[in-house]
Amino acid sequence: MLTLFHAQGSRSTRFIWLLEELGAPYEIRHVSIARRNGEGGPDPANPHPFKQVPALKDGATLITQSSAIALYLTDAYPLAKMGPVVGDALRGPYLTWLATYAGVLEPVIGSKFREGGPDASEQKAFDMLDEAWRGALAAGPYLLGEAVSAADILFVSLLQFGRQTMGPQKVYDEYLARMSARPALARALQKDAA
Amino acid sequence: MLTLYHAPGTRSGGALWLLEELGVEYDLQFVDIFAEGGAPEDYRAIQPHKKVPAIVHDGVAVTERAAIFAYLCDAFPQAGLAPAIGDPRRGPYLSWLVYNDAVFDPVLGAKFVGWTYDKRGVSFGTFDDMVRKIETTLSATPYLTGDIFTAADLNLAGGLNFAVRMQKAMPETPAIAGFLDRTTGREGFKRAMAKGRPAS
C-alpha cells in the first residue's frame, strides 16, 4: 500500500495528481509543514527526515525527492503510461527532464525568490531552461512530444504555483490550460484539503 | 553506441567512474568547457547549457547526473549497480540519486559563495541538515541504501570527496571517512582517474 504524506497546497499536491493518473491504490496522510509565512511546523507523523513533503511510503520503504518519487511511481505502474519504461527511446529524455526539474529548475527558481535575486550564472541557467522548455512544448505539445508524462506534472506545477514566474509566451498558457483540464487533477484537488 | 562528454576536474568525472564500474564499451569525448566562450557552440545540441556530463546512447542525448546514472544502470543491469524496479531498495536508491543533484550540490554551492537564505524559501534546506543526513545514514550502514554499493553511492562519493577531502568544506567524520575510503578505493575509481585526463 502506498501512503503519501501530504500538506495542502504544497509540493505534495502534484503527487495526489500523479497517483490519480496512475490509478494506483493509495492513502493520504495529511501532515503540517513549516510554511514560508511562519505558519505550521514540523509534524512528528511525517517520516521525511526534515519533515518536508512529499514523502511516500511503499510498505516499509520511504521515498523522498519529487523526481525520485515520480520515477519510482511511473516505473511501478507502467500500464498507466505516465513515463517511458526502460528500453523506450524516450526513457533518456524522460529522465533528463525529471533530473532537470530537481537539479536546475528548483534551485534556479529558488534564486529568483532570494534577496538580491539570481546572479549572472543563475540568470543564464534560467534563460536556457526557459528556452529548452518552450522549445520542447512548441514541438510537443508535451515535454516528451505527443504523450503526457510525470515530468509534465512536475514542470507545470511551477506555472500553477506562479504563472508569472515564466514569461508571457502563449505556449506556457496553452500548456497550463491543457494540463489543468485533466480529470485526474480535478480529482486530486478534491483530496488536497484535509 | 555510447559516448560520454567529459571535462577533466569537473562533475563529469562521476559519470566516467560509473562507466568504468559498468564495464561497458564507450567513447570518451573531451569537451573544453573552460575555453574562452565555453565549449564549442555545436555542443549545445547535446547539452543546452554546454555543461558536462552528457551522454549520447544510440542517438539519444541524456543530461543531468541523476538522469544519466539512472539511465545507464537500468540500460546495463548486469553490472548490478542499481536495485531493479520492484526491489525494496529501489526507492531509497532513486531518492539518493536525486538528493545529490537537488540538495547536496545546491547546498554546497550556497556555502561556497556564502549565501544566506531562509530554509523555508528554498527547496534544498540547510547545510547542517545535509551533513546530518549523510552522517546519520553512513553511521548506520556502509553504503547509502544498505550493505551493497550502488550508483547512488558513486554519485555522492564524487561530490563528497571534493567537498570533504579537497575543499575541507565538510567535516570528515569516521563514518564519512570510511565511506570515502570504500568508494574511492575501488579499481573503477582509479581507472576513471587515469582516463579522465587527455593524453599530453
Dump pLDDT digits (tens) for B114-161. Answer: 777 777 767 788 899 999 999 999 999 999 999 999 999 999 999 999
More confident residue, B179 or A109: B179
Q: How far is B199 from chain A (nearest CA, A)?
A: 31
- C-beta separation of B59 from A135 below 8 A: no
* Beta carbons within 8 Å of A162's beta carbon, 6+ residues apart: none
Q: How far is B123 from chain A (nearest CA, A)?
A: 7
Q: Which residues of B touch A131 (CB under 8 A)?
A: 48
Q: Residue A116 phi/psi, 5° resolution?
A: 90, -15
CB spacing of B94 vs A110 below 8 angstroms: no
CA distance B175 to A80: 42
pLDDT for the residue numbered B37: 86
DSSP state of B2: E
pLDDT for the residue numbered B113: 78
pLDDT tens profile A86-99: 999 999 999 999 99
Q: How far is A97 from chain B (nearest CA, A)?
A: 8
Q: Which residues of A touch B49 (CB under 8 A)?
A: 125, 128
Q: What is the mean pLDDT of chain B?
A: 93
- C-beta separation of A155 from A105 below 8 A: yes
Q: Which residues of A touch B92 (CB under 8 A)?
A: 61-63
Q: What is the mean pLDDT of chain A?
A: 94
- What percent of chain B has a predicted confidence (pLDDT) above 70? 98
Helix, strand, coil percent values for chain A (each to nearest 5): 55, 10, 35
Does the CB of A189 have a partner CB in chain B at under 8 Å? no
- What percent of chain B has a predicted confidence (pLDDT) above 90? 82
Asked if residue B105 has pLDDT above 70, the reply is yes
DSSP state of B71: H
Asked if residue B104 has pLDDT above 90, the reply is yes
Does the bond joining A141 to the residue before it have cis omega, within 30 degrees of 0? Answer: yes
pLDDT tens profile A55-93: 999 999 999 999 999 999 999 999 999 999 999 999 999
Check the CA dihedral B17-B167-B40-A89 and report its sign.
positive
Of A103, A2, A107, A17, whose CA–CA distance to A55 is shortest?
A2
pLDDT for the residue numbered A117: 84
Torsion angle, CA of A167/A148/B48/B195, rounded to 10 degrees? 150
Q: Which residues of A touch B115 (CB under 8 A)?
A: 114
- C-beta separation of B109 from A125 below 8 A: no
Q: Which residues of A touch B46 (CB under 8 A)?
A: none
Query: Among the residues of chain A, which ranges form H helices?
Result: 13-22, 66-76, 91-100, 106-112, 120-139, 150-161, 170-180, 183-192
CA distance B74 to A7: 33
pLDDT band, very low/low/confident/very high, at A36 (cuts 50, 70, 90):
confident
Helix, strand, coil percent values for chain B (each to nearest 5): 55, 10, 35
Among the partner-chain residues A36, A75, A115, the one whose CB lies closest to the CB of B120 is: A36
pLDDT for the residue numbered B16: 97
- C-beta separation of B169 from B112 below 8 A: yes
pLDDT tens profile B1-15: 999 999 998 999 999
Q: How many CB pairs under 8 A join A and B?
A: 139
pLDDT for the residue numbered B200: 58
For B200, counting Cβ atoms within 10 Å of its Cβ (0-12 exposed, 13-18 middle, 19+ buried), the class is exposed
Phi-psi region of A83 (alpha: psi -120 to 50; beta: other; left: phi over 0): beta
Asked if residue B199 has pLDDT above 80, the reply is no
pLDDT tens profile A148-191: 999 999 999 999 999 999 999 999 999 999 999 999 999 999 99
More confident residue, B135 or A122: B135
Among the partner-chain residues B57, B64, B94, the one whose CB lies closest to the CB of A68 is: B94
CB spacing of A67 vs B102 below 8 angstroms: yes
Of A146, A141, A135, A134, whose CA–CA distance to A90 is shortest?
A146
A98 is written with which cell numbers? 525529471
User: What is each CA distance from B21 to A39, A69, B60, B149, B188, in whole angstroms?
Assistant: 47, 26, 22, 11, 5
Residue B17 C-beta-side C-alpha neighbours within 13 Å: 27
Alpha carbon B26 to its chain's center: 18
pLDDT for the residue numbered A114: 77
CA distance B96 to B155: 9
CB spacing of B48 vs A64 below 8 angstroms: no
Instruction: Give the H or E element holding residue A49.
Output: none
Q: Residue A183 phi/psi, 5° resolution?
A: -60, -35
